[in-house]
Amino acid sequence: MMKHELEILRAGDETADTLLLIHGINPISPKAAFVADLARSHYVVAPSHPGFGASPLPPDFDTMYDMVNLYLDVLDHLPDATTVVGFGFGGWIAAELAVAGHPKLQRLVLVDPVGIKIGGREDRDIVHMFNTNPVELNHRSWHDPAARPAGIYGLGWQAVISDDMTDAEMISLARNWDSLCLFAWRPHMFNPQLKNWLHRISVPTLVLWGESDRIVTPDYGRHYASLIPGAAFETIPRAGHHPELEQPAAFVAAIDRFVS
């Protein structure tokens, strides 16, 4: 029995292979093209983290420890042989989840994840989400910022706020970023211990990266993949921090190849 109430997006045939999508700063949108494409051959399950989207934030739920244990509960309720796909901040959660281990977690895909520190104390491995100008954050997030999808997608949303946004969308955006501060403000977007435990990930792993990502660079991604035994590393051209949004066809093709 799930202890916490969650908003959950579901798509596809429940008898197909299950993909658990763990979102980044903003929940997975049902309007995103890659969701419908994945749902043609997979059963897609995409919860909103507690405090994000329309999921309530329980009292005293404020650490990565809480988040990982919640997703262990989610896996308890999913079919066997689930593939976990984590995006950005959600990639960090997915990596922690795989380190903890679960018998239903059979494959792991990390899409431009954060979560580890690879440089020295003064090196900026991850662009600061909270202290970077929104326009600059938007520029660094996309291969082509001018062609980014309209709506609440990805980083740099402050740069595209318009009168077309509903009150509900504005409230959701504010909740998402407030909650991100709660879980990832300090240390900023990483767990100092995680890189020492990535060797415990024992499931087949694919690390996918947008070639133009300047939030966390492909070199950061290669280092990340090198710490996971047997992990494959692939880049997606003409994509930044959100390859699933900028190049949905290439992204879905990579997932299909890996799962099959």
Contact criterion met (CB below 8 Å) for 88 and 113: yes
Q: Which one of 111-115, 133-137, 142-146, 156-160 scores highest in mean pLDDT?
A: 111-115
Q: What is the pLDDT of residue 162?
A: 58
- 12 or 3: which leads in pLDDT: 12
Token digits for 182?
Answer: 């709660």
* Dihedral pair phi/psi, residue 8, rounded to 5°: -135, 125
In this prediction, residue 62 has a pLDDT band, given cuts at 50, 70 and 90, of very high
88-97: pLDDT as tens digits: 999 999 999 9
CATH superfamily of 8-259: Alpha/Beta hydrolase fold, catalytic domain (3.40.50.1820)
Burial of 33 (0-12, 13-18, 19+ CB in 10 A): middle
Cα angle value 29/31/37 (rounded, 5°): 100
pLDDT in tens, 196-244: 999 999 999 999 999 999 999 999 999 999 999 999 999 999 999 999 9
Q: Give mean pLDDT, residues 125-144.
A: 91
| pTM assigned to the model | 0.96
Q: Which residue has the tokens 């291969």?
A: 143
Percent of the chain with pLDDT over 70: 96
Name 109's bridge partners.
85, 206
Find tokens 């262990």 and name the residue: 72
| pLDDT at site 160 | 55
Q: So what's the pLDDT on residue 4?
A: 86
**What does pLDDT average to over the chain?**
93
